Amino acid sequence: MLRFLTAGESHGKGLVTIIDNFPAGVKIDEDFINEKLKLRQSGYGRGARQKIETDKIEFLSGVRGEFTTGSPISFFIKNKDYENWRDRMDPYKSVPEESKIHTPRPGHADFAGSIKFGLDDIRNVLERSSARETASRVAVGAICQIFLKNFGIEFASAVLSIGGVGVEAAEKNKLKGQELNRAKGSEFNSDPFAFNLIDLFDEVISRNIKNSELRMPYLEIEERTKVYIDKMKAEGDTVGGLITAQIKGVPVGLGSFTQWDEKLDAHIAMSVMSIQAIKSVEIGAGVKSAYLKGSECHDSIYCSGSGGFYRKTDNAGGIEGGMSNGEIISVTCAMKPIPTLMKPYLDTVDLNTCKAKKAFLERSDVCAVPAASIVVESTLAFSICYFFLKKFGGDCFAEIKRNYDGYCKK
């Protein structure tokens, strides 16, 4: 069973990751992985740390001569900022009382984590709970994408809105070759249900996302969104947004209907929800499904002259009964504003004295939604790879390819 473990702190020496049960014989593209890591650090509204770090993967085991060996893959991502934190993060030096933090930030892991582990310094919680950990997950997802590319499976992600500024409803669904009207910049609450109509694999849309500092599919709304982010920065506040990700080329039958924990959509929901600051996950039409009639919601099945099956709509988001149905898998999720604010707006208490305090400032971002879109894409890659290997599993690439080809000939 494919799995991975991560370790490391935000300001420690670095992040360590182990991937177990990854097949042998997969050619690894280090540049592709580092490009994904770079994208995770990019985006308008990021903080000063991104100017310090330039994440690069360093394989420690499991890859030799560019190919995976079948042994556990381990890699290291160095934290360059550790040099600025060495005195506070040293494994052996005692921590001076004046350096300890006792005031938890609302919305963060500080409060519950400190009580759960009986800690007298919140830094022991915030270092590990930081979104810095997602660098490991992006690298894992990139390795999974490299493998899945061999089977024609593609991934894409984008930012739909930031703080209510985003993409307006498109009138026609381009996913099935219909003409998609150009969306205009608008408030998100104009129609929150039309975002799943955007085809992220469309050549123009894909190019727009690549050229956008905010990873938005329509460049005409980017400047308006930047103005909003600048306003939040001036106010010392933070902002969240909506993210979408899509997967194309997934074969029919990944996942299962036989047990609750074998369902593909359940695993996807868990993986995406585990990302720091993600507060909701929708697949396909999502919440909109509650407002539709059955005749409007479910995707009718058709057969082409060559015997191929297809749908004209994709409200199911590529998953039915816990299994992939061959259509594009579409996931939308909401990221809350980062809980570390630039000004002391939020009330809290000192955990030692119970006296009222204001939440402390830790270096942070105003907006990390574009970066989070890369993390979402990466977590989806792991979920698809996990179920792909369960379906077509083998110890090496050649064996998996034979199993896959045999299934597709049925």
210-224: per-residue pLDDT in tens? 999 999 998 888 888
Q: What is the pLDDT of residue 410?
A: 66
CA atoms of 136 and 118, how far apart (whole Å): 27
Provide mean pLDDT across the span 37-52. Answer: 78
Q: Are 365 and 238 in contact (CB under 8 A)?
A: yes
Q: From 50, 67, 47, 51, select the one nearest 59 (Cα to Cα).
A: 67
Helix (H), strand (E) counts: the chain: 12, 18
Structural domain including 244 reads: 3-408
- Distance separating alpha carbons of residues 40 and 136, to the nearest angstrom: 11
Number of other CB atoms surrounding residue 126 within 10 Å: 22
pLDDT of residue 171: 31
SS3 236: coil
For the cut 70, the answer to whether the pLDDT of residue 386 exceeds it is: yes
For 233-269, letters b (16+ CB in 10 Å) and e give: beeebbbbbbbbbbbbbbbeebbbeeeeeebbbbbbb
pLDDT per residue as tens digits for the range 111-156: 999 999 999 999 999 999 999 999 999 999 999 999 999 999 999 9
| Kind plus residue range of the DSSP H or E element containing 157 | strand 154-162
Q: Helix, strand or coil for residue 31?
A: helix
| DSSP per-residue letters across 306-353 | TS-EEES--TTTTEETTEE-SS-EEEEEEEPPPS--SS--SEEE-TTT
> What's the number of domains the chain is made of?
1
Summarize the confidence of residues 42-58 as an average pLDDT: 77
Mode of pairing for the β-strands spanning 319-320 and 323-324: antiparallel
**Comparing 70 with 361, which gets the higher pLDDT?**
70
Average pLDDT, the chain: 90
pLDDT at 190 over 70: no
CA distances from 94 to 35, 87, 119, 140, 253 (A): 38, 9, 14, 34, 54
pTM of the model: 0.90
- Structure tokens, 309: 């099956």
Burial 291-313 (b: 16+ CB within 10 A, else e): eeeeeebebeeeeeeeeeeebeb
**DSSP annotation of 24:** B
Residue 256 sits in a domain of what CATH number?
3.60.150.10
What is the predicted pLDDT for the residue at 221?
Answer: 85
- C-alpha span between 332 and 289 (Å, rounded): 14
The tens digit of pLDDT for each residue in 312-335 reads: 999 999 999 999 999 999 999 999
Where is pLDDT greater, at 27 or 409?
27
- What is the pLDDT at residue 258? 97
CA 366 from centroid of its chain's CA atoms: 18
- Partners of 330 in beta bridges: 246
**pLDDT score at 218:** 87
Q: Quick check: 313 and 300 in contact, CB under 8 A?
A: yes
* pLDDT value for 185: 37
Percent of the chain whose predicted confidence (pLDDT) is above 90:
77
Look up residue 100 and give its two tokens: 């300890």
Residue pair 204/228 in contact (Cβ under 8 Å)? The answer is: no
Residue 26: closest CA among 185, 151, 204: 151
CA dihedral angle for residue 224, residue 212, residue 194, residue 196, rounded to 10 degrees: -160
